[in-house]
């Protein structure tokens, strides 16, 4: 099962082809879970794993070569979208692609930005 989505909040996930995007970035054999969390949980995860004591819009955790988890805070992402001059839905797609590329092993930089652009063009994000 390439992508599972669990929503632990009352927030509604925007309509995006999450499974298709995940498969395009990670391939068919990768098991990825997308967990929608509230700001309190995103802050706890950020503090625990990154030593940053504030909520964050998205976090990705590679578990092994073919498995990883992404945690998305919709409320924080909605607030952050304006800073990136993107609509809410577009920003969620952008964040998801970004997190998937981290799961794939890419770090911030030109290589990651180029990979993001390729996927964004395909999915019009």
Q: For 38-87, what is each residue's pLDDT tens digit?
A: 999 999 999 999 999 999 999 999 999 999 999 999 999 999 999 999 99
Is 70 exceeded by the pLDDT of residue 116?
Answer: yes
Q: For 19-36, what is each residue's pLDDT tens digit?
A: 999 999 999 999 999 999
Judge: domain 3-123, CATH 3.40.390.30: yes
Please state the domain extents for the chain: 3-123
Helix orientation angle between 18-26 and 88-103, rounded to the nearest 10 degrees: 30
> Please, are residues 6 and 35 in contact by the beta-carbon 8 Å criterion?
yes
* Single pTM value for the model: 0.95
Phi-psi region of 12 (alpha: psi -120 to 50; beta: other; left: phi over 0): beta
Q: Order across the sheet with 67-73: list the strands.
A: 3-7, 31-37, 67-73, 58-64
């Amino acid at each position: 099962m390439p992508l599972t989505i669990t929503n632990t909040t009352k927030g509604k996930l925007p309509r995006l082809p999450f499974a298709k995007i995940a498969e395009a970035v990670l391939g068919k054999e990768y098991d990825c879970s997308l967990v929608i969390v509230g700001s309190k949980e995103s802050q706890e995860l950020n503090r625990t794993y990154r030593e940053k004591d504030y909520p964050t819009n998205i976090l990705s955790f590679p578990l092994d070569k073919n498995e990883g988890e992404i945690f998305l805070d919709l409320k924080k992402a909605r607030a952050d979208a304006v800073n990136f001059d993107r609509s809410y839905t577009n920003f969620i797609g952008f964040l998801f692609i970004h997190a998937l590329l981290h799961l794939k092993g890419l770090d911030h930089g030109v290589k990651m930005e180029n990979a993001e652009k390729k996927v964004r063009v395909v999915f019009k994000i």
